[in-house]
Amino acid sequence: MKKILFLALLAFGMSARGQITLEDTYDSASSLGGNNDQLMMINFAVSGKQYVNINRVGKTIKIYNLNHSLIKSISFASFPQDANNQAYFLYFSENLFSTDSKVAFIYVYYPFNGFYSTQIRDEDCALLFQADSAGPSVINTVIQQQFPIFETPSGTKMILSYKNVHDQAKIFSLPGTLTSSINEENNNLLAMQNKSFLSNPYPNPTQNSTKIDYTLPDSVNEGEIVFYNLQGTEVKRFKVDKTFSTLLVSTADIAAGTYLYQLVTSVQSTEGKKMVVIK
């Protein structure tokens, strides 16, 4: 009898603590995979919270209900393509960019020659807006994916990306709730961890070479320092990591003039800095 009572109490304790359970798995949805796919939750103003899956190889955006049934599939195969197949999608909305209830979004891509270009498209692929040689300052921040836990009418969900053969993202049901105080504390923590630093060049102006100090966010190991002329055309690009914190840049092979540069990582881009080359 004591053994039965102990097992009953143990079962009750486990039940009271709750379980984190796998709810569903999406293929071609992992931001950690080679294609930088995405699975995120968007709170649409009209239809409420839904899952949005971006498949960059298949060139599709699929929107699912909270029960994981497919609502609609949008093809972006006809969109101008990014040089590195890494176009960004931001601000999915039903009423931000137009007066109808169609889903619309910002599409940012890097052409094969030129600077970032920004478009706004709706679910029928209609072009609502275009700005060439222009990109939003949050292009590499992707705020909608910074936090993996979401409150929904069907409970609290956690989305995790997996680095595996199918580039999967998995949705877990959590037993508790995400309070506003937890969310605020994590906002502050993420801001501190994901802070990049990029120095002014020294010497500046420079004739043959200059140095630039940089710091990568805690959450990333690699980035790129990219240089542009004042027309927005890229002139140099250097990969950097945490092995060093200073980049030596040769300017002997570029013309005299003023150039802008920034540190680009998977979570953010720094503000542009100015470098002057003299001959």
pLDDT digits (tens, 9 = 90+) for 126-179: 999 998 877 776 544 444 455 788 889 999 999 998 888 888 999 999 988 877
Give the start-to-end residue ranges of the domains of the chain. Answer: 18-193, 197-277
| Confidence (pLDDT) at 172 | 94
Look at residues 202, 192, 210 and name the one whose alpha carbon lies nearest to residue 251. Answer: 210
- Do residues 209 and 233 touch, judged by C-beta distance below 8 A? no
| Confidence (pLDDT) at 23 | 95
Global confidence as pTM: 0.62
Across the range 60-80, mean pLDDT stands at: 95
| Confidence (pLDDT) at 18 | 65
Tell me the per-residue pLDDT of 185-239, one tens digit each, with 9 for 90 and over: 666 655 555 577 888 899 999 999 999 988 887 778 889 999 999 888 889 999 9
- For Cα atoms 195, 197, 202, give the angle at the middle one, nearest 5 degrees: 175
Q: What percent of the chain has pLDDT over 70?
A: 81
The fold for domain 197-277 equals Immunoglobulin-like (2.60.40)
Greatest mean pLDDT among 6-10, 33-37, 51-55, 141-145? 51-55
Question: In the structure encoding, which two tokens stand for residue 98, read together?
Answer: 């137009």
